[in-house]
Amino acid sequence: MALLQIAEPGDKPAKPAHRLAVGIDLGTTNSLVAAPCAGKVEILPDADGGYLLPSIVHYGAEGEVTVGADARKSSLTDPGNTVVSVKRLLGRGVAELRDSPQYRHYEFAADRDDHSPAIVTRAGSKDPVEVSAEILKSLAKRAEHNLNGALEGAVITVPAYFNDAQRQQTKDAAKLAGLNVLRLLNEPTAAAVAYGLDSQDQGNIIVFDLGGGTFDVSLLSLQKGVFEVLSTGGDTHLGGDDFDQLLADWISEQAGLSITEVATQRAQLNQLATQLKHQLSELESVEVEFAGWQGELTRAEFADLCKPLVARTITTCRRVLRDGDLKVEDVDNIVMVGGSTRMPVVRDAVANFFGKPPLTNIDPDKVVAIGAGIQADVLIGNKPADSFLLLDVNPLSLGLETMGELVEKIIPRNTTIPVARAQEFTTFKDGQTAMSLHVVQGERELVSDCRSLARFELRGIPPMVAGAAKIRVTFQVDADGLLSAMAEELSTGVRSEIQVKPSYGLNSQQIEEMLQASQEHAREDMEIRALKEAQVEAAQLVDAIQAARAADGDLLTAEEGQQIDTAVAALAKAVQEADSKQLHEQTEALNRLSGEFAARRMDLHISKALRGESINKVESTPE
């Protein structure tokens, strides 16, 4: 029975309460929070009127935790207890971090395994989730102070190329901070929401997002309020920090610093490099002074120094266009996102490649948070859900390992999410009662060339002949890009499922190389796949014939048995030595040779199945 709201005659209907939800740009260098105010989404300021919260956390001697600008001051005086750019730590392993010069001043907890790195501070071991939660707590307090109420939900942005581990850790940090996550939203997509709703642009849009520590390029189709991500690309470990690193290394080289001096003065070097980078966005040259050395750096020299990093961003743009099956001239607008896009060297490179100046009329630092705030207002119920339709895609293919160490893709890359896809599989051996399922991510044909996400088992499969069982495997990717996998045996309904929460992510080289490798090795991969499939087919035929010989070998003459044995031995040898074409030929030859044997077996078993009992032997049922 439904409930109806009633009112006295002439009364105005009660206005629905405005629910408080915010959009959070959890950035590598700075973070922001946005919310609807006076009819439009605005960035919420702190007590001093600033809107950027430095993504830095300091653990003090008395147990106090400081976040933001005050924590940034401690990065010079107490670097070991000050965590900077924590976003770059999400989903990474200890071994990888120890090899990076940016993290050499940190001590990592010895009692944590490689999949769960934690930095030793005077307040105890703090992993990236705990540190990120402190930043989110600070943003939540700022929002509640500005909005005069408790938050009911938040949309948090992540780089489009964040993998499952990094996305899950972001959600875990929000939960630890006491936030209800309405959705994780890709940063480039959030920027498209902001620009699309404000300026009503239509057509093909490139969102070029270069932040402090991550880089994303997304190709979006925007038509009549419908946003669709056609393709994405990027690098979770490329950003403004890397430009700072280059400049810091240049300063240390010019000043003649030793490795030890560089290590002890890394924080000061990075701070100076950041300051000079900002100045060169406004000035043609700057004076540089460090450790007794004085010199000058021009904008042109800085641009030359940054060529390798800028070239990486343009290479990604080319790949994204190719994946979206578009040409440069098909792009209508380029949206610049992230503070690092203020660098003239970056803007010039983008303008030269696309042949048109990029859009910068919304503050590149604010645009992602504004888009997240717009999305939060819709998801919390303050605006109709059909205000706009937002379609995201999964950036890498998801699949299962099959026989022969091959990958069967279930959800291809660039599939619109949320999505659920299913495929049916079967058993390989007679009497098989369990199946091991290996979930992988990547574009290559072999499991060894892809990334392992998770393994789980399905038990309780009824024993049948090989190929008789029907196992349906369903992959479901939610709006946050997180994957759930479920396997079900259809005749019994027995099932097993897992939520993929891999404990560590891809390193920068793997992310950059995965798509390139799939293109470079496309022909080789297809040849290997053809060979592997032929080997599996041959192995199945050999197993089937050997099982048939064991059960009904008396149906063969001695000569026929010898011929089949010879052919089986030849095929078994070919599996190890021959190419796919030769394997197919020998498999077909064995099929032809064993065809008469298969027909005899079928006749025998059909006659047994049809053999009935005499009617006289059937007893009547007593009344």
| CATH number of the domain enclosing 189 | 3.30.420.40
Q: Residue 259 domain-assigned?
A: no
- What is the DSSP-derived secondary structure letter of residue 20? -
Residue 480 shares a structural domain with residue 499:
yes
Q: What is the mean pLDDT of residues 588-616?
A: 64
C-beta separation of 533 from 404 below 8 A: yes
Q: What is the pLDDT of residue 437?
A: 87
Q: What is the pLDDT of residue 3?
A: 44
Q: Which pLDDT band holds residue 514 (cuts at 50, 70, 90)?
A: low
Q: Per mean pLDDT, which range of 294-303, 334-343, 355-364, 416-425 is the poorest?
A: 416-425
* Boundary-marking domain end, from 343, 362, 392: 392
Q: What is the pLDDT of residues 490-509, one digit of tens each?
A: 888 888 888 765 434 444 44
Q: What is the pLDDT of residues 93-110, one digit of tens each?
A: 776 666 666 666 777 776
Q: Is the pLDDT of residue 403 over 60?
A: yes
Q: Is the pLDDT of residue 213 over 70?
A: yes
Q: What is the mean pLDDT of residues 549-554?
A: 68
Q: What is the pLDDT of residues 225-240, one digit of tens each?
A: 566 778 888 876 788 8
Greatest mean pLDDT among 456-465, 522-531, 567-576 lies in 456-465
Residue 454 shares a structural domain with residue 348:
no
3-class SS of residue 496:
strand
Q: What is the pLDDT of residue 31?
A: 95
CA distance 101 to 74: 19
Q: What is the pLDDT of residue 125?
A: 84
Q: Is the pLDDT of residue 22 over 60?
A: yes
CA distance 97 to 92: 7
Task: Report which residue type is found at 330.
Answer: D
Q: Is the pLDDT of residue 131 over 90?
A: yes
Residue 216 shares a structural domain with residue 312:
yes
What percent of the chain is predicted at pLDDT more than 90?
A: 27
CA distance 480 to 163: 11
* Tally of domains within the chain: 3
Q: Residue 272 domain-assigned?
A: no
Q: Is the pLDDT of residue 353 over 60?
A: yes
Residue 398 shares a structural domain with residue 354:
no
- Active-site residues, by number, are 25, 87, 187, 209
- Name, in order, each residue with C-beta under 8 angstroms of 596's C-beta and a sequence gap of 6 or more: 560
Q: Please indicate whether residue 548 or residue 192 has the higher confidence score (pLDDT).
A: 192
Residue 108 shares a structural domain with residue 228:
yes
Residue 388 shares a structural domain with residue 401:
no
- Token couple for 139: 């943003």
* Boundary-marking domain end, from 438, 472, 505: 505
Q: Residue 143 domain-assigned?
A: yes
Range of the domain at 61: 21-239+307-392
What percent of the chain is predicted at pLDDT more than 70?
A: 74
Q: Which pLDDT band holds residue 1 (cuts at 50, 70, 90)?
A: very low
Q: What is the mean pLDDT of residues 65-92?
A: 87
DSSP states along 596-611: HHHHHHHHHHHHHHH-
Q: Residue 289 domain-assigned?
A: no
**The CATH number of the domain where 491 resides is what?**
2.60.34.10
Q: Is the pLDDT of residue 522 over 80?
A: no
Residue 235 shares a structural domain with residue 331:
yes
Find the farthest-apart pair of alpha carbons in the chain and give their distance in angstroms, rounded. 114
Q: Per mean pLDDT, which range of 140-154, 265-279, 339-353 is the poorest?
A: 265-279
Q: What is the pLDDT of residue 506?
A: 47
Task: Report which residue type is found at 288.
Answer: V
Neighbours of 582 (CB within 10 A): 13
Bridge partners for 477 per DSSP: 419, 483
C-beta separation of 556 from 595 below 8 A: no
**The CATH number of the domain where 549 resides is what?**
1.20.1270.10
Residue 453 shares a structural domain with residue 500:
yes
